[in-house]
Amino acid sequence: MIVDDKTYFLKSNIALYIETLREFSAKPFEVASLNNIIKNSEFNKGSFYYRFNDKFDLYCALLSDVLLKQSDYYDLVLKTSSDNHYLKNILVILFNSNYSLMQENKMFIDFLKFFYEEDDDFKNKVYINTGKPIFESIKDLIVESLKTQDHFELSNSIIFMNCLSYMYFGLNNYFSNLSTNDNNIIINMVNFLLSGLSPESNYPVAISADNISFTYKDKPDFKINLDFNLKNKEILVFVGPSNAGKTTIYNLIVGKTTSDTGNISYLNNALKQDLLKKENKMSFISSPKLNRRKNGRQNLAFYAKLYHSMIDINVLIESLNLSDLCSIPIRKLSDSSIFLLEILCSYIAFPKLLLLDDLHSKLIDKDLKILNKFLEMIRANGTSIVIFSSHLKNVYEISDRLFFLVNGKIEKSYTKEELKAKYDSLHFIVKYKEFGIERNIIVSEEDLKQKKLQMIIDQYDIISIETQKSITDEVFKYETGVCLN
């Protein structure tokens, strides 16, 4: 850690130190007010600018002190621990040292959380003045330890580290409104993280649908035809308009509907056993019944007990910062919040597989952000997820693979990276007429270099040319010729 005279000066002026910590632990850097700090600490403005250049200078002085405290606590816990080369022990040491910092002052953790959420350019600029925190310093050690785990895929290390970061810097959330022994909470947090590394959670394929066909009795011309695999720890998204067959595919997977041909295999034995055991209770995945007189925490606890779940309810709630929401009776919550809690209950009841039907039309933006964080977390811990959606824009970022569904058939299949490479860069949407028929074509920057746009302009009657740099619902239309709405 880099500690200079400015840090020592700040520590020697208690009122200025406290107001600086209070402001930066409550707001991001850009929003925090230097004038508030100077005013509330009753510190002379002239004297302040004699010691500090600006708000950033003060920020770095405070962070240097907090990082030094964090480092000292880490060293202290490390000295009293054994087997510190094992992954679980490394994580326990890391969380325990941060817990010690939290015990000294909870605002330290809030301050670090806001810092962690700043963009990388800002953090790198700060590191020049303060040095890197313990968490950054031992990242490589954690990743190396991950490599030694049986069946663990290195490609998942990024997801694991993201979940670890979220829990580590959000430590205050886990110790609010909880009566559990502090050490037990930390052990549960670590076990929750490591549960995704077990051999059981690393089968390459969770579900295989081979040569599936289904014909509607009232619509004999409309037929479902499917071949796909759901990989383990994957978020697979079926995107399609109304009446594309999404609900039928959902029912085929959960066993509510029987296909005319083909079969669905559950290649993960634990998943297969759970499906067989609960095949008559599969409706809970889409619509678990919540007790409207009870609050969210009580409903989650009920499902955990009913299905003998090993998931720690308190850790799950605190991981998503839902303590306040889960203390309110269900009858007083919005439809969006109730639906979010229903999804959590579904996961608790059946953590190997989560199927979500058109969820993005039922959630407001705030709950949607919580859901996306939740899905990323449980995917890292071994859950396979299938989402059915009528909107591409809302599911693109969270997906691993996307199937574009039209009239019961998968017309196009993309990984998120493939879709991003094709559309999440500058491109031109050209509408033109060919033999009196209106058509669309997308021209990339690479196509532009090859004069493809000019060729179209020369050859056809152009209606319009638009520039775009995002994944929107329009992409589905360009790929399939069918509108989502």
**Domain total of the chain:** 3
Pair (424, 406) in one structural domain: no
The rounded distance, in Å, linking the Cα atoms of 142 and 453 is 49
pLDDT band per the 50, 70, 90 thresholds, residue 354: confident
Q: Is residue 81 part of a domain?
A: yes
Domain check: are 266 and 363 in the same one?
A: yes
pLDDT given at position 363: 85
Any idea what the CATH number is for the domain that residue 129 is in?
A: 1.10.357.10
- Same domain? For 223 and 366 the reply is yes
Note whether 300 and 274 are same-domain residues: yes
Last residue of a domain, one of 172, 197, 222: 197
Q: Which amino acid is at 141?
A: L
DSSP secondary structure string for all residues of 124-176: HHHHHHH---HHHHTHHHHHHHHHTSTT--GGGHHHHHHHHHHHHHTHHHHTS
Pick from 197, 219, 254: which residue ends a domain? 197
- The band of 322, judged by pLDDT with boundaries at 50, 70 and 90, is very high
- Compute φ and ψ for 318, nearest 5 degrees: -70, -30
What is the DSSP-derived secondary structure letter of residue 329?
B
pLDDT (0 to 100) of residue 469: 57
Type of residue at 295: N
Q: How far apart are CA 164 and CA 147, in angstroms?
A: 16
Token couple for 257: 């509907």
| Each residue's pLDDT tens digit, 22-64 | 999 999 899 999 999 999 999 999 999 999 999 999 999 999 9
Shared domain for 397 and 450, answered yes or no, is no
Same domain, 265 and 284: yes
437 compared with 126, residue with greater pLDDT: 126
Is there a contact between 382 and 198 (Cβ–Cβ < 8 Å)? Answer: yes
Task: Mark whether 391 and 246 lie in a shared domain.
Answer: yes
Residue type, 298: Q
485: in domain: no
Residues 252 and 328 in one domain: yes
* Beta strands at 353-357 and 384-389: parallel, antiparallel or unpaired: parallel
- Rounded Cα gap, residues 266 and 273, in angstroms: 9
User: Quick one: pLDDT at residue 42?
Assistant: 94
- Shared domain for 127 and 250, answered yes or no, is no
- C-alpha 78/C-alpha 84 separation (Å) is 7
What percentage of the chain carries pLDDT values higher than 90?
27
**Cα(473)–Cα(393) distance, rounded to whole angstroms?**
6
- The SS3 assignment for 112 reads helix
**What does the radius of gyration of the chain's CA atoms come to, in whole angstroms?**
26
Which helix H or strand E contains 404, and what residues bound it?
Answer: strand 401-406
In a domain, 150, yes or no: yes
Beta strands of 205-321 (E only): which ranges? 205-215, 223-231, 235-239, 261-266
Residue spans of alpha helices (H) in 25-105: 34-41, 45-51, 55-79, 87-104
- List Cβ neighbours of 449 (8 Å cut-off, separation of 6 or more): none
Rounded-to-integer distance, Cα 162 and Cα 6, Å: 33
Dist. CA 458–CA 81, nearest whole Å: 74
What number of other Cβ atoms are within 10 A of residue 338's Cβ? 18
Is residue 160 domain-shared with residue 16, that is, in the same domain? yes
66, 89, 105, 122 from 28: Cα distances, Å: 16, 32, 18, 11
Residue in 129, 155, 164, 157 with CA at minimum distance from that of residue 59: 129
364 and 431 share one domain: no
Q: Using one digit for the tens of pLDDT, what is the confidence trace for 215-241?
A: 988 887 788 988 888 887 889 999 999
Q: Which domain holds residue 236?
A: 202-414
Please give the DSSP secondary-structure letter assigned to residue 381. T
Q: Which of 414, 430, 464 is the last residue of a domain?
A: 414
The pLDDT of residue 396 is above 70: yes
